[in-house]
């Protein structure tokens, strides 16, 4: 995940935990005050509500903590304020244990449900085959980064990659081998980008990386990825080890494009210029928005 998004997510998570803890403490304090002020033993089941709330918000750990506190509170209150008999204490303990067990079961169910929701959310952001971010996540991140650059300054470099002769590779080795190659490229891209960058599967055999940097930064990244793919081999299920190459195109914002749509178009145009010039190379196309001239630079 990009560094800024991770930091924002962590801060939001901490705030959410703090609000939940505050709400739980307020609920416990309110129920305790009601029970103590009315001095009615039969009202102790009111504590079921904060116990279940703890299970929903903090899962098994919440149920354990609130259940332990509840047991100590009630038994101490019964002994000191009501001089409860041993049988009354035993009956209360049995009721507390049953309630505590119900809270633990609910906490476990809630934790599993929460984990499932996280997995579903993650699957909506990433490509299942390569583990990279998907097209929708890339588009959203690009939009936010362009807005950030407009507001605070700085440059963005967009690199688009396309596997050379991928259809021919599939025809020769099979679609499962093609999937192995896509996973291999996804792993190489993940290893090459920084935490602050975003690598995504754009679609089919196309990949993209968005970085905070200028034309040179984008070009150097594209070259590293190109060389890493060209010099590595993919182990197929039939025992063969094969190699592949990629073509790449680089465009920048705001120097090379007027908006995010044009940035994608310029990077895509540079990519296909690399293919036209023989593949397995990087092409940089930067547009000076003041003159609308388009110098093109290609390198093997």
Question: Is 205 marked active-site?
Answer: yes
- Displacement of CA 3 from its chain's centroid (Å): 11
The structural architecture, per CATH, of the domain 135-299 is 2-Layer Sandwich (3.30)
What is the tens place of the pLDDT at every residue in 258-274?
999 999 999 999 999 99
Which of 60, 145, 205, 260 is the catalytic position? 205
5: which residues sit within 8 A by CB, 6+ positions away? 141
Tokens of 166: 């991928």
Count of CB atoms situated within 10 Å of the CB of 240 = 11
What is the tens place of the pLDDT at every residue in 180-234?
999 999 999 999 998 889 999 999 999 999 999 999 999 999 999 999 999 999 9
By the 10 Å C-beta count (0-12 exposed, 13-18 middle, 19+ buried), 182 is classed as buried
- Report the alpha-carbon distance of residue 104 to residue 165 in Å, rounded: 56
Identify which of 204, 187, 197 has the alpha carbon closest to the alpha carbon of residue 135.
Answer: 204
Cα distances (angstroms) measured from residue 15 to each of 11, 29, 150, 292: 6, 21, 29, 47
- Per-domain boundaries in the chain: 3-125, 135-299
pTM greater than 0.85: no
């Amino acid at each position: 995940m990009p560094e800024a998004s991770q930091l924002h997510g962590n801060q939001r998570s901490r705030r959410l935990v703090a609000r939940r803890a505050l709400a739980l403490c307020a609920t416990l304090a309110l129920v305790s005050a009601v029970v103590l002020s009315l001095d009615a033993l039969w009202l102790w089941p009111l504590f079921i509500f904060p116990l279940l709330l703890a299970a929903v918000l903090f899962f098994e750990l919440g149920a354990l903590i609130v259940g332990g506190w509840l047991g100590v509170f009630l038994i101490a209150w019964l002994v000191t304020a009501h001089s409860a008999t041993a049988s009354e204490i035993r009956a209360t303990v049995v009721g507390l244990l049953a309630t505590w067990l119900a809270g633990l079961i609910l906490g476990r169910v809630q934790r599993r449900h929460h984990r499932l929701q996280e997995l579903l959310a993650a699957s909506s952001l990433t490509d299942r085959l390569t583990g990279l971010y998907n097209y929708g996540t890339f588009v959203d991140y690009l939009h936010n980064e362009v807005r950030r650059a407009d507001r605070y300054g700085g440059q963005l470099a967009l690199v688009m990659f396309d596997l050379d002769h991928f259809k021919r590779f599939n025809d020769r080795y099979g679609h499962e081998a093609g999937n192995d190659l896509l996973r291999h490229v996804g792993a190489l891209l993940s290893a090459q980008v920084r935490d602050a960058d975003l690598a995504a599967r754009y679609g089919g055999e196309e990949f993209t990386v968005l970085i905070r940097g200028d034309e040179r930064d984008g070009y150097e990244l594209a070259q590293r990825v190109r060389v890493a793919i060209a010099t590595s081999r993919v182990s197929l299920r039939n025992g063969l080890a094969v190699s592949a190459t990629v073509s790449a195109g680089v465009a920048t914002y705001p120097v090379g494009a007027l908006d995010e749509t044009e940035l994608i178009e310029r990077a895509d145009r540079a990519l296909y210029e690399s293919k036209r010039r023989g593949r397995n190379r990087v092409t940089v196309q930067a547009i000076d928005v003041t003159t609308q001239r388009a110098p093109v630079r290609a390198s093997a």
